[in-house]
Structure 1
Amino acid sequence: MEFIRADQNDSGTSSEQSIYNIEYLLSQDVDGILFAPTTNQVLPAICRMCEEAKVYWGIYLRSITDTEIEEFCKSSPYYIGNTYENEEEWAYQLAQSVLKKGYRKFAVLSEAKWDNTCRLREEGFQKALMEYPDAQILTEARSMHTTSDIKENIKSIIQAYPDLDCFFLAGTKTIGGTEQVLTTIQAMRSTSRISLIAIDFSDKIVDDFHTGILKSAYGTMQLSLDPYYLSILMINTLKGYPLEESSTSYCIPGALITSEEQARELSPVIEDRSLLYFPDNYIQDTLFKWNNPDLDGTQFQKIIDANQFLESSVSSGNVSTIVEP
């Protein structure tokens, strides 16, 4: 079993990038495609492309939020389903964690409004704020794709809104975005009141909380969990052992961290990039349906839920899984 990554260089808008990546992967004669679209609108075209090529495909980190498009994709025998996170609920709980402490004036840092993931996060955030009549969003900054973008926007917001309590980082495609936000706030902060809450954990979660600026963060233990579980689903499908007869959705649970102590407890799992989520023998005996005929969608979701904090993981990046029935 071989995995091929799409070329990540710039090739236009987000929709154009998605089409380009799928075309590239199809040109490599792949049997299955896993990807994370930022918008629903590109999916019908991708669905048709994969069906014409007879290539299975699935989505990770995303849900299809348009009902008609979802039904269209589900009607294809080559769409295997998706792994996703409950973005709206995560953002709701994240906002509640600081609203309960008295934070009321926020600035939102996010992606473009058509980005499905950030849109859901913002909806959850707004839902929490509606429960506090005096809470408000003072301003927002979007599509910050470089560290200089982040730095300039943070500085401008802090200078323009002296009564700002907290930034809500809904999402950014900038590598190391959380650290850059923290660094800029730390350099600009005139009082201890300006804080940050964020979706997704960085590789330096303990250091982030140690600044005293990051108050809460919500995320999965590792960012690659969604594609990992979708890969298991795809491997079973390609080997002729689909977990269900039709496409299925699997929710990847996350965790809310609200203190440096809690971050320190979870940091061995969050910060270890050599982590194997399951031992090799468990993968072979339990996650491959040809060895475990009882494995179905319901059981797979239970396995995902039970390993929320990666209790089954082992720290060794050199074990390779041989996928052979």
Structure 2
Amino acid sequence: MKKFLVLSVLAIMLFSSFFVFAANKTSNFVVGINYFGNQGVLITLANNSKYVIEYFDGSVIMVDDNFTVDKIVTDIENLIATGVDGLVVWTPTPTLYPIISQMCLKAKVPFVLSDKVPEQQALRDQLRQNPYFVGGVGPANEEYGIEVANYALSQGWKTCIVNTTAPGDPTDEPRLIAFRKAYEAGGGKILDIARSSSGDQTGQAATENSLIAHPNPDFIYGVGSALGIGAVRALEKFNYNTKVVTSGLEEEILNYLAEGKIAMANGDYWVSGTYAAIMLQNYLEGFPLKDENGQAPIYDQVGFFNVESQQVDLFKKCFIYQPIYSKSEILQMSGKNNKDFDFKAFLKVIENYTLEDRVAQKLKEGIVTEEEVISAGININK
């Protein structure tokens, strides 16, 4: 009898310990992330999602689409087959949204769109009919184009070539349209729009051909960072005074900026990858973020900032050599960890995303010094 009682007590203790362990155990979600190819901007975007998931003790499977649109569908299909708990999806082709949505619906796998989201309301409505559609986050693309146009006009630049991608890209096309409207309204003239093929991600060849047909324009607008890099490389074959401006802040762009090969660059360092992963993590934890209409949010107004040549070293320290947000900051962007974190709180995080805000935080963390901040000319007190 005594032996029976001892065994019973041990069994209860073991049973109770199991439940304590189960209650305290963090859910280790496995998330699949596709990236279009081995290019700085694309890898940065994917890595910005990766560090969020890993901060929550999740794991990530990343797949390279090898710059092939058709392979995006295959890769996502394969990720679903591995049994991932959710997907962070990037696609430059709007026609793929319904296909990907149907795949995820059939497999009951939640997915979020990172960096590129559909402009068309019909597509947005269609996606929102899928209960496994988490939402999407993208940059304020039109504002990028307007900013570049205003900068060029302020410099007195009257002629340009635009280096961009094929028509319909959800990021590049809105930038181009907004740039063209603002630049031409201010008296500028676009001599040519050089469109790159799927095999030339930088548009260098197309830009070289355009420069032969339209010698010595005042500047080239590389609509994305890879296209800005292609413009710089294309100009190396010509003895022109042409300047380059671009939207995107990957390390090669920053180096060109410091060297004077790029006159102006702006961007948000692909923070949409970070925000998209936060949305997915909250969904997986059972705290989905819903907009004011109770729907999956599609937010395409993530702000950006200009980086000047004297700010390059500081920018690298704050953004390139470590994640944009610290682990403690990310963990508070969770309805599970922070009962006050809802869609309004999420929007507040995005709206507060500025160069000054991030530099101030890195100063607080001891990542940068006050002397470095002053030397870069950044006013963190405004």
Bin for the TM-score computed over the shorter chain: 0.7 to 0.9
The residue identity in structure 2 corresponding to 1:8 is D
CA distance in 2, matches of 1:315, 1:109: 40
Is the 1:90–1:218 Cα contact (8 Å) retained in structure 2? yes
In the alignment, what sits opposite 1:279?
326
Q: Please, which of 213, 223, 235 is the counterpart of residue 185 of structure 1?
A: 235
What corresponds to 1:90 in structure 2? 144
Shift of 1:6: 2.3
1:72 aligned partner, one-letter code: Q
Quick one: structure 1 residues 254 and 74, their matched pair in 2 at CA, closer, same or farther if it must change by over 3 Å?
same
**Match of residue 79 from structure 1:** 133
Specify the alignment match of 1:195 in structure 2. Answer: 243
- Tell me the TM-score normalised to structure 2 length: 0.72
Given candidates 345, 353, 359, the residue that maps to 1:299 is: 345
**Contact 2:283 2:289 (8 Å CA) reproduced:** yes
Q: Structure 1 residue 9: deviation in Å?
A: 3.1
Q: 2:185 aligns with which of 131, 143, 146?
A: 131
1:70 maps onto 2:124 in alignment: yes
Distance 1:281 1:78 in 2: 28
User: Which one has a larger percent helix, Structure 1 or Structure 2?
Assistant: 2
8 A contact 1:167–1:196 mirrored in 2: yes
In structure 2, the residue matched to 1:226 is: 272
Contact 1:182 1:214 in 2 (8 A): yes
Unaligned runs of 5+ in 1: 317-325
Kindly report which structure 2 residues correspond to 1:116-127, keeping only aligned pairs within 5 A, or say none: 116-127=170-181
SS in 2 for 1:214: coil
1:183–1:291 Cα change, 3 Å: same
Instruction: Please give the per-residue CA displacement for 1:228-275, whole angstroms capped at 9, x wherever unaligned.
Output: 111111111111111325301343221123x423445534324x2x41
Counterpart of 1:247 (choices 272, 279, 296) is 296
Name 1:165's counterpart in structure 2.
Answer: 218
Judge conservation of contact 1:108–1:168 (CA < 8 Å) in 2.
yes
CA RMSD, aligned part only? 2.5
Q: Which position in structure 1 is the counterpart of 2:78?
A: 24
Amino acid of the structure 2 residue aligned with 1:70? R
Residue-by-residue CA offset, 1:80-129 (whole Å, 9 max, x unaligned)? 11111011111111111011211111111111112121111111111212
Give me the whole-angstrom Cα distance separating, in 1, the residues matched to 2:83 and 2:210.
48
- Matched residue, 2:87: 33
Q: Distance in 2 between matches of 1:124 and 1:167?
A: 16
The corresponding residue for 1:5 is: 62
2:104 to 50, 63, 68: 50
CA positional deviation for 1:163: 4.4
Higher CA-based Rg: 2
SS in 2 for 1:63: coil
> CA–CA distance in 1 between the matches of 2:204 and 2:326?
42
Q: Look up the equivalent residue of 1:153 and give its one-letter code.
A: A
Q: 1:315 to 1:182 in 2, by over 3 A?
A: farther
Unaligned runs of 5+ in 2: 1-57, 368-382
* TM-score normalised by the chain length of structure 1: 0.83
Q: Is the CA contact (8 Å cut-off) linking 1:40 and 1:66 kept in structure 2?
A: no
Counterpart Cα distance in 2 of 1:146 and 1:302: 39
> In the aligned structure 2, how far is the partner of 1:145 from the partner of 1:315?
43
Number of the residue aligned with 1:321: none
Paired residue for 1:114? Answer: 168
SS in structure 1 opposite 2:298? strand
Q: What letter corresponds to residue 294 of structure 1 in structure 2?
A: D
Q: Equivalents in 2 of 1:170, 1:71: separation in Å?
A: 28
**SS state of the match for residue 4, structure 1?**
strand
User: What do the CA deviations read for 1:194-232 (whole angstroms, capped 9, x no partner)?
Assistant: 111111113044431244342221211x23x21111111
Cα 1:7–1:206 change in 2 (3 A) is: closer
Distance 1:275 1:95, change over 3 A: same
Q: Aligned equivalents of 2:93 and 2:230: distance in 1?
A: 26
Provide the rounded CA distance (Å) in 2 between the counterparts of 1:121 and 1:148.
17
For 2:208, the equivalent position in structure 1 comes to 155
